[in-house]
């Protein structure tokens, strides 16, 4: 096992824990029967709503599957330059997934609070 692979694993562990924490916090605020906004148009209108479980778990599960795929790829023997590039890809994707999930959860909670469906 190389050091770059371990660094990438740590980044993904942090990302997944941030995403799980945000989902858990939102889960406790949203009632079971509320449809959570998940997708918005560029104008800001809600395009798609999903049940609470789907809305709060979908992106973290996709991130987990992607992280496992990248983990397997990082364990293969490779040139040091390729290993550094793979670490960069893993770090950038981890940051993007965490940021997108946090923005999505914040925006959904704000919209639900504005609609009077939850109380922050």
The token duo for 110 is 């704000």
- pLDDT attached to residue 118: 87
DSSP codes joined into one string, 40-88: E-TTS-EEEEEEHHHHHHHHHHHHHHHHHHHHHHHTS---HHHHHHHHH
pLDDT at 2: 85
* pLDDT mean over 68-94: 93
Confidence bin at 112 (pLDDT 50/70/90): very high
Q: What percent of the chain has pLDDT over 70?
A: 99
> Which pLDDT tens digit goes with each residue over 3-46?
988 999 999 999 999 999 999 999 999 999 999 999 999 998 99
Rounded Cα gap, residues 108 and 113, in angstroms: 8
> Averaged over 84-109, what is the pLDDT?
96
Q: What is the pLDDT of residue 1?
A: 56
**pLDDT value of residue 104:** 96
């Amino acid at each position: 096992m190389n050091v770059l692979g371990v660094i990438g694993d740590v980044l993904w562990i942090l990302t997944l824990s941030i995403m799980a924490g945000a989902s858990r916090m939102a889960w406790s605020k949203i009632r079971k029967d509320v449809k959570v906004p998940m997708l918005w148009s560029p104008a800001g209108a809600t395009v798609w709503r999903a049940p609470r479980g789907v809305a709060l778990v979908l992106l973290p599960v996709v991130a987990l599957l992607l992280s496992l795929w990248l983990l397997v790829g990082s364990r293969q023997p490779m040139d040091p330059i390729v290993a550094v590039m793979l670490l960069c890809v893993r770090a950038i994707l981890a940051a993007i997934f965490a940021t997108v999930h946090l923005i999505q959860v914040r925006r959904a909670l704000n919209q639900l609070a504005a609609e009077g469906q939850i109380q922050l």
